Chain A
Amino acid sequence: MPFPRNLPLEDVFASIADGLFTVDADWNITYFNESAQRITGVSYAEAVGRKCWDVFRSSLCDGNCAVDHCLRRGVSITNKSIFIIKNDGSRLPVSISASALTNSDGEVVGGVETFRDLTEIQAMRRKVKDLYRFEDIVGHSPSLDRIFRILPQVSSSQATTLLLGESGTGKELFARAIHSLSPRRDKPFVPVNCGALPENLLESELFGYKAGAFTDARHDKPGRLEMAEGGTVFLDEIGDLPGPLQVKLLRFLQEKTFEPLGGVAPVRADVRVVAATNRDLEKRVADGRFRQDLFYRLNVVTFHLPPLRERREDIPLLVEHFVEQFNAIQGKQVQGVSEDVLLLLLRHDFPGNVRELENILEYAFILCSSGFIQQEHLPDSLQAGAEPAASAGGLHGTLEEIKRRAARHAVERNQGRRMAACRELGITKDTLRRLLDSKE
């Protein structure tokens, strides 16, 4: 849509809340609107005629200029998160958009860059994150909300609890939350990974042994159940518990007693059991690999922890959580992820769930010391499928072909759910149907 010729452009630019500046082909600033002056603290008189890098002083200046990128590649950049340094030394997070400027003959005569102060948005995000935090679990998706609503009541009971969920969904975090919300919170929380130890070792670890039980058993050794007295034992990978130990655990759940290896008298322990597995326990029961009676004993209260791909709305909160955590651990000043990286993460399927997201960010922290994590900081596997933030960059074919591809990919990403694809693309279901039905 053409811009009306008779409108005073300067007044229009002066009225917008985003900072805006233009440069000529030699990177000299030719226009610097009022918001740009307010955000940077540099006046119009000081800015115009000076090199843009001396005025803007951003994390992209000195080699990674956004306008230069647009000029070289003939693309536009939208919503790239960076920071600028103000003259008091503070880092101000901003979101920039940039593109080349051409004259009526199509010749490039410079560039334009707009930038938005993200300080308030970031502060609001931090507040929201605190609102959506339950113990150490971060999220606000409906599937998690349901769990959060009943977790306190379940925790305050003595019921054996079973946590089911894919690997990396945070089963131990939930187990710790159950413990810390329970009356047992001042007593030990003892985790045991049933899949990590061979059967004999697991038995002595869980139930302990008496001196003389085997050749090297010179002293009594208390098991994890005994060590958790008054508290909670977390049995991770319970689906991998060997058959004979299933019997022993069943007895403990029924009678609250167990016999250490080499012991002759039962030992009583007041311990709450929280178990977890990523296996399909009912299938293992059907296959005869897991005792049915133990399954029913464990299955008093069951939580199904949703995989990350089913609670994508939690990804931004989780990203902020991990960035904060890694900054604290590694003493860095990473401000977050750029908008295009967030978009990429929102579209990733995360077969490894929250742990995979954590690992991706830990990798990015190796390459990024400060500022915002950009696409080039991500592992190669993620970059391969990366779609640039550039509005048209890297896309080929006619506009109609690009739309058709976008529609098809959105449906694939949403596992065939057309309404979800419509929401993602911001189009009606009729438009989606038309795009999917039309031929390339």
Chain B
Amino acid sequence: MTPESPTRICLACYKDRLASVCENADRYKLFDIRDNDIYPAGLLSLPSKDPMDRTSAILACGVSYLLCGAIGADTRARLERAGVGVRPWLTGSVAQAVSAFRRGNLADLAMPGCRPRREDI
């Protein structure tokens, strides 16, 4: 039996919480979810604020899902076109976000005034 391939998620963070605006994030934290467990997979500090550079960084790391706060429609479209699932409008600490993703209840972390779309959850 082959082990299940991990799902890599990326959190757009400011310090130890999700950045309120994805484009403001100063670091990306990467986690692998394998066999229902969470494994840290790296940290990307982000000197460049250029949205295209950031998309490239996410793609280069093999990320499947980006978890973030508010995100511009154009940034989101660029990521989704590149095959990255975007789970936006989230707030909370890094631990809360990872745990909610694993348990499938990201809706609990919705930002005020933002009800996630069904496909976002």
Contact = CB atoms under 8 A, between A and B. Distances in A.
B51 A369 contact: yes
B72 interface: yes
Interface string B55-93: 000000000000001111110100000000000110100
A51 B18 CA distance: 13
A107 interface: no
B72 A54 contact: no
A61 B21 CA distance: 7
B98 interface: no
Contacts of B25: 62
Contact of B112 (A46, A89, A91, A368): A46
A370 B51 CA distance: 8
Contacts of A332: 50
Interface residues of B, number: 27
Interface in A73-111: 85, 87-91
A40 B21 CA distance: 14
25 contacts: A40-B113, A42-B112, A42-B113, A43-B113, A47-B113, A53-B20, A54-B112, A55-B113, A58-B21, A59-B21, A59-B24, A61-B19, A61-B24, A62-B14, A85-B70, A85-B72, A87-B70, A89-B71, A89-B74, A89-B88, A333-B74, A368-B49, A369-B48, A370-B23, A370-B72
Interface of A: 40-43, 46-47, 50-51, 53-59, 61-63, 85, 87-91, 331-333, 368-370
A51 B91 CA distance: 10
Interface in B21-68: 21, 23-26, 48-52
A56 B21 CA distance: 10
Which 5 pairs between the two chains have the least Cβ-Cβ distance?
Answer: A89-B73, A42-B113, A53-B20, A62-B14, A62-B24
Given A85-B70, A369-B51, A47 B112 contact: yes
B20 A57 contact: yes
Contact of A54 (B49, B88, B111): B111
Contacts of A90: 72-73
Nearest to A368: B49
Given A54-B20, A62-B21, A88-B73, 13 more contacts: A40-B113, A53-B20, A54-B111, A54-B112, A55-B112, A57-B21, A57-B70, A62-B24, A63-B26, A85-B72, A89-B71, A333-B51, A370-B72
Given A54-B69, A85-B72, A61 B20 contact: yes
Contacts of B49: 368-370
Given A54-B112, A62-B24, A87 B19 contact: no
A338 to B, nearest CB: 16
Nearest to A42: B113
A63 B24 contact: yes
In this complex, the member of B52, B76, B91 whose beta carbon has the largest number of chain A beta carbons within 10 angstroms is B91
A331 B51 CA distance: 10
A85 B76 CA distance: 12
Nearest to B91: A54
In this complex, the member of A41, A54, A63, A90 whose beta carbon has the largest number of chain B beta carbons within 10 angstroms is A54
A349 B89 CA distance: 45
B58 to A, nearest CB: 16
A87 B114 contact: yes
B72 A50 contact: no
A46 B89 CA distance: 14
Nearest to B71: A89
Contacts of B76: 89
Contact of A85 (B21, B26, B50, B51): B21
B72 A91 contact: yes
A268 to B, nearest CB: 54
Contacts of B48: 369
